[in-house]
Structure 1
C-alpha cells in the first residue's frame, strides 16, 4: 500500500507523485541566460516558494538547512554533483545559501 504525502496542503497519493511535483518545480527554473557558473535562477512563483518552505522543513537536517532563516529559494547546478545536476537552494537572510535534496525531504 502506498503512503500518501502531504506538502503544504498538496496531497500526493504516492512518493513518486510528490517526486514528480518537485521535478516539475525544479524544471520550471532552467537558469537565467548568461547567469554564469551554475546557472542560478531565483524561484519567483509564490506557490513554489511556499511549497519549497514546507518541503525543506521535512528534511532530516532541516535545522541545518534552514539555519538563520529563509529569505527565498533558487535553483542552480550543484557544483558537488555529477554532470549538470540542478538542485534547490535555501537563500538565507545574510545572502548565503544551502543546497538540499528534495528526495531527502520525501
Structure 2
C-alpha cells in the first residue's frame, strides 16, 4: 500500500516558502536603501533630513501652477525615479513639466507632474524621500484608517480637519 502525502503539509510548506520568499524580498529591498550620501542631479544629500528640507523648502517657495525650471525638473524627476515605489506607473511616459499646485482634496501644496498627454498627477515628496533615506519616525507619513474609509480625518496630513483632537506639531511641514 503506497503512502500519499496529505495536502495540508504541502500547503504548509508552500506557505512557509512563500513567507520566506516575501521576507527575502523585504530584506533585499532594505539592503537597497542607502544609509549614506545620496546624489540627485548635481546635489549630494548626507541625510534624509537634508533631502527632506531641500524639497520642503522648494515646495513652499515655488509659485503655484508654474512650470519648474530645468534644474528643479531634473531634481524632481530623479526623486521620483529613485524614491517612488511605482515610478514607471506614476511617470506613465514623458513628463513635460512639474508644478507646485494646491491639492484639490487636501488643500495643501504638493508637487504635480504633467505628462505629454496633458494629464497631471500628484506625488508625495515625503514618501519618496523616506523610500530613499528613511526619515525619523516622527516625520514619516502616517496612514489613517479614517482616510482609507473615505472619512475626512486629519491622519497623515499633520492636522485635524474635524475640529476635534490634537494638532500635530509637524503640520508646518506636511505634504500630500
Instruction: Name the TM-score, length of structure 2 as normaliser.
Output: 0.49
The answer for the alignment partner of 1:34 in structure 2 is none
Task: Select 2:72's aligned residue among 28, 48, 63.
Answer: 48
Give the CA RMSD over aligned residues.
1.5
**How many residue pairs end up in the alignment?**
94
Deviations for 1:7-39, whole angstroms, at most 9, x for unmatched residues?
1231111100000100121122232xxxxxxxx
Point out which structure has higher relative CO (alpha carbons under 8 A, 6+ apart): 1
**For 1:72 and 1:89, how far apart are their aligned partners in 2?**
9
The answer for the alignment partner of 2:115 in structure 1 is 92
The answer for the alignment partner of 1:16 in structure 2 is 49
Q: Which has the higher helix share?
A: 2
> In terms of mean alpha carbon deviation, does 52-61 or 22-31 score higher?
22-31
The answer for the alignment partner of 1:63 in structure 2 is 88
**For 2:105 and 2:97, how far apart are their aligned partners in 1?**
21
Q: Which has the higher strand share?
A: 1
Following TM superposition, where does structure 1 have runs of at least 4 consecutive aligned residues deviating by more than 4 angstroms? none
- In the alignment, structure 1 segments of 5+ residues that lack a partner are 32-40
From the CA coordinates, give the structure whose radius of gyration is larger. Answer: 2
User: How many Å apart are 1:101 and its aligned residue?
Assistant: 0.5
